[in-house]
Structure 1
Amino acid sequence: MMLLKQYTGWLVLSTLLFYLLSVTQLISVLLPTLLAWGANFAMWHTLAASAKRQVSWLMVIGSASLLFAGSQGIWMTWQQVFAVNLPMLAMFVAVSFLDLTNSVDKKRQLPTGFSAILNTALGVQILGAVINLSVILVFADRMKAAIKLTPVQQFILTRNFSAAAWWSPFFVATGVALIYAPGMQWQKTLIPGLAMGLVAIIFSSIEAYRRTKGEFNGYPIQRESLVIPIFLASSVILFHFIWPSISILVLICLLAPSATILLMKTASRKQSLLHFVNHKLPQIGSQFALFLAAGIFSSGISAIILCYPAVFNLDSFTFSPLLFSFVLAGMILVGIIGVHPVVSIAIASPMLLPLNPDPTQLGFLFLSAWAISAGSSGLTGLGLLMTSRYDIPTKTIVSNSLHYAIFMWLLCSAVNWIGLGA
Structure 2
Amino acid sequence: MHESSPRQRIAGGLILLALALQIAGFSGALGTTLAVSYALWLAVALLWRDIPARSRRQAAVLIALGLIMLLTARLGYGARIYWPGIITRNAFVVVMLVGVSFIALIGTQGNRKAPGKRVTGTGGVLRSWAGVHFLGTILNLSAVFMVGDRLSRREPLSTPQLLALNRGLSSAALWSPFFASMGVMIALVPNMQYAYVALAGFPLAMCAGLFTTLELDRRFDLDEVDGFSLAPKSLLMPLCMAVLVMLFHFWLTPGLSIVSIITFLLPSVALAANLPRGLRYTGYRIYQHSMTRLPAMRGEISLFLAAGLFTLGLSTLVDAATQDTWTLFDRFGLPQAMASFIVIVLSAMIGLHPIIGVSTLASVLSLEGNAQTLYAFVGLTAWGVGTAVGPLSGINLSLQGRYGISGYRMMKHNLGYAGAMSLLVLVAIAGLALLLGQA
Normalising by structure 2, report the TM-score: 0.89
**Within 1, Cα distance between the matches of 2:87 and 2:129?**
38
Tell me which moved more, 113-122 or 64-73.
Answer: 113-122
2:67 matches 1:63: yes
Is this contact kept in 2: 1:361–1:421, CA < 8 A? no
Residue 26 and residue 109 in structure 1: after superposition, are their counterparts in 2 closer, same or farther (change >3 A)? Answer: closer
Partner deviation per Cα, 1:26-71 (whole Å, 9 max, x = no partner): 2222222222222222222321222221111111111111101111
**What residue number does 2:34 align with?**
30
Structure 1 residues 259 and 363: alpha-carbon distance in aligned structure 2, compared to 1, 3 A threshold: same
1:143 and 1:356 map into 2 onto residues whose CA distance is 46
Residue of 238, 247, 250 corresponding to 1:238: 247
Matching residue of 1:301: 314
Are 1:396 and 2:409 an aligned pair? yes
Alignment-mate amino acid for residue 423 of structure 2: L
Identity %: 27
1:307, CA displacement in angstroms? 3.1
**Residues 203-242 of structure 1: pairs in structure 2 closer than 5 A:** 203-215=211-223, 216-242=225-251
Residue 383 (structure 1) shift: 1.4
* Distance change (3 Å), C-alpha of 1:281 and 1:169: same
Counterpart code for 2:39: L
Please give the root-mean-square deviation of Cα atoms over the aligned residues, in Å: 2.4
User: How far 1:224 sits from its partner (Å)?
Assistant: 2.3
1:8 equivalent among 11, 28, 43: 11
TM-aligned CA distance change 1:195 to 1:286, over 3 Å: same
Further displaced range: 270-279 or 328-337:
270-279
Question: Are the equivalent residues in 1 in contact too, given 2:120–2:227 (CA < 8 A)?
Answer: yes
Change (3 A) 1:162 1:107: closer
Shift of 1:367: 0.7
Moved more, 278-287 or 412-421: 412-421
8 Å contact from structure 1 (residues 321, 413) kept in 2: no
Among 108, 124, 133, the residue aligned to 1:125: 133
**Aligned counterpart in structure 1 of residue 79 of structure 2, from 70, 74, 82:** 74
- Give runs of aligned pairs for residues 45-64 of structure 1, distance below 5 A: 45-64=49-68
- Code of the residue aligned with 2:12 in structure 1: it is G
CA shift for structure 1 position 350: 0.9
Q: Residues 335-414 of structure 1 correspond to what in structure 2 (within 5 A)? A: 335-353=348-366, 358-414=371-427
Amino acid at match of 1:238: L
Aligned to 1:163: 171
Specify the alignment match of 2:146 in structure 1: 138
In structure 2, the partner of 1:280 is 293
- The total of aligned residue pairs comes to 421
- Aligned residue number for residue 96 of structure 2: 91
Aligned-partner Cα distance in 1 for 2:328–2:405: 45
The amino acid that maps onto 2:381 is S
Q: What is the letter of the counterpart of residue 68 of structure 2?
A: A
8 Å Cα contact 1:75-1:303 kept in structure 2: no
* SS of 2:29 mapped into structure 1: coil
User: Helix, strand or coil for the counterpart of 1:421?
Assistant: helix
CA distance in 1, matches of 2:356, 2:330: 23
CA offsets 1:167-200 (integer angstroms, 9 cap, x no match): 1111111110101123122233122221111111
Matched, 1:320 2:333: yes
Residue in 1 that maps onto 2:271:
261
Q: Alpha-carbon deviations, 1:220-244, whole Å to 9, x = none?
A: 4232222111111122123212243
**Cα distance in structure 1, aligned partners of 2:116 and 2:426:** 42
Deviations 1:398-419 (A, max 9, x none): 2221122122222222222213
Range moving further from structure 2, 291-300 or 76-85: 76-85
Alignment partners' CA distance in 2, 1:214 and 1:296: 46
Instruction: Give, in whole Å, the separation in 1 of the partners of 2:428 and 2:116.
Output: 40
SS at match of 1:110: strand
Instruction: For 1:186, give the aligned amino acid.
Output: Y
Is residue 8–residue 47 contact of structure 2 (8 Å, CA) maintained in 1?
Answer: yes
The one-letter amino acid paired with 1:32 is V
Deviation at 1:118, TM superposition (A): 1.5
Provide the rounded CA distance (Å) in 2 between the counterparts of 1:355 and 1:314: 13
Name the amino acid aligned to 1:322.
Answer: P
- Say if 1:133 and 1:107 are closer, same or farther in 2 by CA, change over 3 A: closer
1:10 counterpart letter in structure 2: G
More moved, 10-19 vs 257-266: 257-266
Instruction: Show structure 2 runs of 5+ residues with no match.
Output: none
Q: Which consecutive unaligned segments of at least 5 residues does structure 1 have?
A: none
Confirm whether residue 116 of structure 1 aligns to residue 124 of structure 2. yes
